[in-house]
Amino acid sequence: MARFRNKERFSINTTEEFFPVGLLTEGILQTMGIWAGGMSCLNFGSTITRQRNRPYHILILCTSGEGRFIMEDGTEFLLKPGELFFSNAGGQGHSHLPATAQWHICWVQVQENASWLINPPDDFSITKARYGKDIESCMSGIIRDDAIENDDYAYMQNLRCQILIQYFKREMKSTFLTGKNMAYMKAFSKLWQNVSAHISYPWNIEDLCRIMNLSRAHMIRLCQEFYGMTPTAKVHQIKMNYAHTLLRTMGYTISEVAEMIGYDSLSGFYTAFKKFYGTLPSDIS
């Protein structure tokens, strides 16, 4: 089997637009492990090759035209509009190039241990994207929005990034989860909705295990597998995210927010918030 090495060759009139650097170094894209991303129009003569054992997964969404993929083991296939290609960081290398005069794609590179990628294929996959148009629209807004960079601009960009991540998460869940894992994921989604609906409750792992009807060990194992964290850490994440949203957009005082998510001690809330976000609640509100 041939071993591919990273290389790029672009023909005349090929265009690439990338995520703004600032969004990749701070904010939700950085938090969710997005290393790079963009929208490309590749013309005949362009070739991109990626090697195996990269520190990042690759997702490529075909939006128009067709692309030809050549894998290290000799497998060849066409990626057509509305189809999604996933390449595991540890999987085989591949080359991709236009099979039509122009090939338009949206693409992202995702850190290999990103917690939102649930049970991805060990090598590669080609699937029909359920949220392809939504992903394309979000990425276009993030990359091409030329609005004045004021507070509203920053807020809208962050909102677009959050929506984009949600679409990718839905795409990965619908693509890669099957059978019992899909059933568990649906049950977890209902569990976290219940946690959010009773955000002030002092949830502990016994409560969570009882609702899920799982043993403590099984609960911890599944939560680590699906989310990369323990069940109590997931609850803490939900509470902190909820607090951040309230402080950022709803106009509540810090003490009100602390009480709403179940903190009896204001100093305890300050400490937890600072540890989670690296900044104080007063810097948000």
Q: What's the mean pLDDT in 22-48?
A: 87
Top pLDDT among 112 and 249 is at: 112
pLDDT at 10: 81
For residue 76, the cross-strand partners are 70
Q: What's the mean pLDDT in 197-225?
A: 92
pTM as predicted: 0.65
Does 40 score more than 60 pLDDT? yes
| 9-13, 84-88, 105-109, 124-128: range with lowest mean pLDDT | 9-13
Cβ-proximal residues to 79 (8 Å cutoff; 6+ apart), any chain: 60, 62, 66, 67, 68, 69, 85, 96, 126
pLDDT at 4: 67
The predicted-structure confidence for 123-177, as pLDDT tens digits, reads as follows: 998 989 989 999 999 999 888 875 445 556 777 787 888 889 888 888 877 655 5
Average of per-residue pLDDT values in the chain: 86
Backbone angles phi, psi at 74, to 5 degrees: 95, -10
Measuring CA to CA, how many Å separate 136 from each of 84, 116, 120, 175? 12, 19, 21, 18
The predicted-structure confidence for 99-120, as pLDDT tens digits, reads as follows: 999 999 999 999 887 867 766 7
pLDDT at 7: 82
The predicted-structure confidence for 252-273, as pLDDT tens digits, reads as follows: 889 999 999 999 999 999 999 9
pLDDT at 180: 66
pLDDT at 1: 53
Q: What's the mean pLDDT in 32-38?
A: 90
pLDDT band at 29 (very low <50, low <70, confident <90, very high): confident
Residue type, 101: A
Top pLDDT among 88 and 277 is at: 88
Does 189 score more than 90 pLDDT? no
| Burial profile 246-278: b = 16 or more Cβ within 10 angstroms, e = fewer | bbeeeeeebeebbebbebeeeeebbebbeeeee
